[in-house]
Amino acid sequence: MHTDILYGGAWGTRIRVVLTVLLVATVIYTVVLNALAGPGFSIALLFLKVCEVKVWKLGGAVPSSLILVLIINLNLNVGWLFAWDNISVTASAIILVLIVITNGTALSLSACSFAKDAASLYTKSKFNFWCGILVINGLLLYSTWTTFASTINQSIFYKYELKLDGNSVCLCALSFLVVGFVVWFVLENTVFTLVANPFLTHYIVLLWAIVGIYMEQKDIVSTEVSALITTTIVVAAVLFLTRIFLLIYRNRENGIYKNTVLLLK
């Protein structure tokens, strides 16, 4: 018995063909956009010039060290796919931790390099200045998602491999995320004001993910977990709005980079 609701009827085959074509097109443009967003920009930097000087020599968000770390990171991603396909929870958990570490390393390299040369880039090439901010936020988005994935994978490992109580594991995972984001919020707005100045997308990822979890799990999780999820949503929203206000206030007329031209030299 066929369970596909589109199988029957005269239009069944046509709809199936259209959906398949759309799937192929989606895969193609997704691959292309990802290539342009990451490797594509890196390739473009080899040819772009400002006053006869290659843009990549001016510094910015894509240092050579970042490219090396991303190569390692992407290979780890391939390894994780094989581990997950083989249903190896332990291996996939370990690889995801390594992915998170390499993501953090890549993000740090990019942010530090950009902070060092941001004032110069803003003066010489605003296009590359804003591209650098986009690159950093793209890395930040990717890093945050993989952090979530790693947390979920670790939770699965503790629950099914170590046979720990599922409710306790969920509470610990959510608590880790809330505390981690609050601590980072304080650090990025005090200690790492200059380096973390472009950072924003991690709050969007947090809100998107935690609201999705709430919508899917609100009727099946315990009262404690539901309350903690709700608290996380509120905290994330407050942090996000506060972060936007601080960024607007600090970056009026590009003040944060004008006042710190020599800070990292």
Do 10 and 72 reside in the same domain of the chain?
A: no
Do 95 and 224 reside in the same domain of the chain?
A: yes
**pTM check: above 0.75:** yes
Distance CA 244, CA 239 (A): 9
Do 235 and 137 reside in the same domain of the chain?
A: yes
The answer to whether residues 182 and 251 touch, using CB atoms and an 8 Å cutoff, is no
The answer to whether residues 96 and 80 touch, using CB atoms and an 8 Å cutoff, is yes
Q: Supply angle C-alpha 169, 171, 174, rounded to 5.
A: 105
Distance CA 36, CA 20 (A): 24
Asked whether residue 264 is assigned to any structural domain, the reply reads no
Do 139 and 30 reside in the same domain of the chain?
A: no
Asked whether residue 68 is assigned to any structural domain, the reply reads yes
Asked whether residue 229 is assigned to any structural domain, the reply reads yes
Secondary-structure percent of the chain, ordered helix, strand, coil, rounded to 5: 80, 0, 20
Do 62 and 109 reside in the same domain of the chain?
A: yes
Do 35 and 57 reside in the same domain of the chain?
A: no
Question: Tens of pLDDT along the chain (265 residues)?
Answer: 444 555 555 666 777 777 778 878 776 766 665 555 556 556 656 555 555 555 555 567 788 788 888 888 888 888 888 887 777 778 888 888 899 999 999 999 999 989 888 888 888 778 788 888 988 998 898 889 888 888 888 887 788 777 888 788 888 988 998 999 999 999 999 999 989 999 999 999 999 989 988 888 878 888 888 899 999 999 999 999 999 999 988 887 666 666 554 444 4
Asked whether residue 182 is assigned to any structural domain, the reply reads yes
Do 184 and 218 reside in the same domain of the chain?
A: yes
Quote the domain boundaries for residue 178. 53-258
The token duo for 116 is 């060092």
Residues 6 or more apart in contact with residue 28 via CB below 8 angstroms: none
Asked whether residue 242 is assigned to any structural domain, the reply reads yes
Do 112 and 199 reside in the same domain of the chain?
A: yes
The neighbouring-strand residues paired with 50 are 53
Phi and psi torsions of 49, nearest 5°: -130, 150
Kindly tell me the burial class for residue 216, based on how many C-beta atoms sit within 10 Å of its own C-beta (0-12, 13-18, 19 or more). Answer: exposed
Tally helices (H) and strands (E) across the chain. Answer: 9, 2
Name the CA radius of gyration of the chain, rounded.
22
Domain count, the chain: 2
The token duo for 177 is 């995320």
Tokens 């006053």 label which residue? 51
The answer to whether residues 131 and 41 touch, using CB atoms and an 8 Å cutoff, is yes
The answer to whether residues 228 and 171 touch, using CB atoms and an 8 Å cutoff, is yes
